[in-house]
């Protein structure tokens, strides 16, 4: 998922909307974003950290 053009802080719904706005995002990306905590993400590293938590589940 590209985070270019995304303004921070970004909410979970902002991330999902951004992913859906790109050319045919893989469903696995949307599925992972849906598992994110409903909070504000301050930067790209914060998003990467949340993806790591999801992968460990």
Per-residue pLDDT of 28-47, as tens digits, reads: 889 999 999 999 999 999 99
pLDDT for res 44: 94
Per-residue pLDDT of 4-28, as tens digits, reads: 778 999 999 999 988 888 776 788 8
Position 2 confidence tier, pLDDT thresholds 50, 70, 90: low
Q: What is the dihedral of CA 35, 31, 57, 12, to 10 degrees?
A: -30
Nearest to 53 by CA among 36, 30, 41: 36
Calpha distance 46→48 (Å, rounded): 5
Instruction: Copy the structure tokens of residue 57.
Output: 């589940």
Q: Can you give the pTM of this predicted structure? A: 0.83
pLDDT for res 35: 96
Calpha distance 8→39 (Å, rounded): 12
């Amino acid at each position: 998922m590209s985070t270019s053009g995304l303004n921070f802080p970004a909410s979970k719904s902002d991330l999902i909307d951004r992913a859906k706005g790109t050319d045919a995002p893989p469903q696995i990306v949307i599925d992972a974003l849906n598992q994110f905590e409903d909070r504000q993400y301050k930067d790209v590293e914060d998003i990467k950290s949340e993806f790591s938590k999801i992968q460990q589940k």
